[in-house]
């Protein structure tokens, strides 16, 4: 019986991970719109001006 419970528990975990991955693009867009853009003064994240080379 423990084997069936363990299988069911793993299935629940996998379903939860799938839900998180499905929501990831929306979450990233929301964070970008409401957190990152405000922090940098509404400059898009992919703006080349924000990318500075690192000295070796």
pLDDT digits (tens, 9 = 90+) for 9-50: 888 988 988 888 888 888 777 776 666 555 555 555 566 665
Give the integer Cα–Cα distance in Å for 25 and 21: 8
What was the pLDDT predicted at 26? 80
**Contact between residue 4 and residue 12 where contact means Cβ atoms under 8 Å apart:** no
Measured CA to CA, the distance from residue 23 to residue 29 in angstroms comes to 10
Instruction: For residue 19, count CB atoms less than 10 angstroms from its CB and return exposed for 0-12, middle for 13-18, buried for 19 or more.
Output: exposed
pTM of the model: 0.41
* pLDDT bucket at 5, cuts 50 / 70 / 90: confident
pLDDT at 3 over 70: yes
Confidence check: pLDDT of 51 > 70: no
pLDDT at 6: 83
Beta carbons within 8 Å of 37's beta carbon, 6+ residues apart: 43, 44, 45
């Amino acid at each position: 019986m423990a084997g069936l419970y363990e299988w069911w528990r793993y299935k629940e975990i996998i379903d939860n991970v799938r839900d998180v991955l499905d929501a990831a693009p929306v979450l990233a867009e929301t964070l970008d719109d409401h957190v990152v853009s405000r922090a940098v003064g509404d400059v898009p994240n992919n703006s080349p001006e924000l990318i500075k080379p690192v000295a070796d």
